[in-house]
Amino acid sequence: MSSTSSASAPNRRSFLARSAAVAAVPAVAALAGGALAEPASAGTLPDYAPIPPSALGPAVNAQGYYVGRVQKNLYWVTDSTYQAAFLTTRDGVVLFDAPPTIGHNLQRAIDEVASANGVPGKVTHIVYSHHHADHLGASSLFGRNVTRIGQADTRRLLAEENDPARPVPDITFDTRYTLRVGGERIDLAWHGTNHTPDNIYIHFPGHDTLMLVDIVLPRWVPYDSFNLNEDVQGSIAAPATAMAYPWKHFIGGHMGRLGTRDDMTVYQRYVDDIIAGVKKALVAVDPAPFFAKYGDNSWAAVQQYQKAQVDYAAAPVIKKYLGVLAAADVYTASTTFVILESIRLDLGIDSQVHS
């Protein structure tokens, strides 16, 4: 929990006395938190670097979606923040995820493609990538007469969550499942926990495509706090598992564009650079001044000490990836904090046994 290693404890104690005087004067102005009470306005909100054009995908239409071909009869739909995919077959459509933000536009996109190609537009199957509501919340729009497929933990988690918008899967599997519909083949696999315990790899061997949601967001840094990944080490390892598959096109579940193998490599370098920076910060940032200032307020000292570690690790990464990965200046720090905690708590680096 606390980052105060035993090695820093003598420093901490020696600074307590001096810091007492500082601690005795509460910062009344800061405690009042005036700025938080004000409504947001463009004048007071922070500015960030422009988004590199390479991070943006095609424009959405008047209804707020874009549908495009991935390869052959595999298509993707986006509202520029979320993505779903669908495969048209002679026997009906297989849908992959149903984000509520795309909602009724899923069927509109399917109908647009199906009518242009003269194939059935009825969704017969929905494959769930993982249990999260932001990727499945439009599942119930497709009614009860659809076969839903998901990993066993997806079923378990959805049964617990009991959300009528996300019916539990009818077909489940533990590690592998091959779905065959209308002459098409889709390989589903669970390779261990990452973003969630149930997140799966969806491989389209006939379409040179892999779908893996909430791990790599092509040309964007991860969402806040490393995509809120439940298993940080599993999520760091996931791109290597993804790269072991043969594919050219990547569907990451987020933002406005598809990904390439190069995009995934850039993402892996970004995470590797954060890890290297964190390991340096654990050695380089001296905890003593923080404990000197905050005395027996251990949380204040830890917060500011870790903030300094995060800044030390993240600053060069932000600089390196601005213009390469969108929003590097927005979320790199929160992701660095999560990776810092995982390096300390999961890997045990920087934990020192009291003598």
Residues that bind Zn ion (CB under 5 A): 132, 214
Which position's Cβ is nearest Zn ion? 132
> Which among 246, 233, 149 has a CA at the least distance from the CA of 190?
149
132 within 8 A of 161, measured Cβ to Cβ: no
Concatenating the DSSP letter of every residue in 74-139 gives EEEEE-SSBEEEEEEETTEEEEE---TTTTTHHHHHHHHHHHHHT----EEEEE-SSS-HHHHTTG
103 within 8 A of 119, measured Cβ to Cβ: no
106 within 8 A of 78, measured Cβ to Cβ: no
- 19 or 129: CB nearest Zn ion: 129
- 134 or 208: CB nearest Zn ion: 134
- 166 or 207: CB nearest Zn ion: 166
Structure tokens at 113: 């493609």
> Which among 167, 173, 170 has a CA at the least distance from the CA of 186?
173
Q: Compute the least distance from the CB of residue 148 to Zn ion, in Å.
A: 17
- 132 or 344: CB nearest Zn ion: 132
Q: Compute the least distance from the CB of residue 222 to Zn ion, in Å.
A: 11
Q: Compute the least distance from the CB of residue 106 to Zn ion, in Å.
A: 18
CA distance 125 to 145: 9
Please calculate the CA angle 213-216-218 and round it to the nearest 5 degrees: 110
Q: Compute the least distance from the CB of residue 195 to Zn ion, in Å.
A: 5
DSSP bridge pairs for 184: 181
Element (DSSP H or E) covering residue 147:
strand 147-151
- 113 or 212: CB nearest Zn ion: 212
- 92 or 252: CB nearest Zn ion: 252
Kindly report the number of other CB atoms within 10 A of residue 99's CB atom: 26
Q: Compute the least distance from the CB of residue 253 to Zn ion, in Å.
A: 8
Q: Compute the least distance from the CB of residue 345 to Zn ion, in Å.
A: 22
- 73 or 227: CB nearest Zn ion: 227
- 214 or 273: CB nearest Zn ion: 214
- Tell me the residue length of the chain: 355
Kindly report the number of other CB atoms within 10 A of residue 56's CB atom: 15
Give the CA distances from residue 225 to residues 81, 96, 220, 235, 284, in Å, rounded to whole numbers and listed in that order. 17, 26, 14, 12, 23
85 within 8 A of 71, measured Cβ to Cβ: no
CA distance 55 to 263: 10
- 214 or 231: CB nearest Zn ion: 214
CA distance 256 to 233: 27
- 130 or 203: CB nearest Zn ion: 130
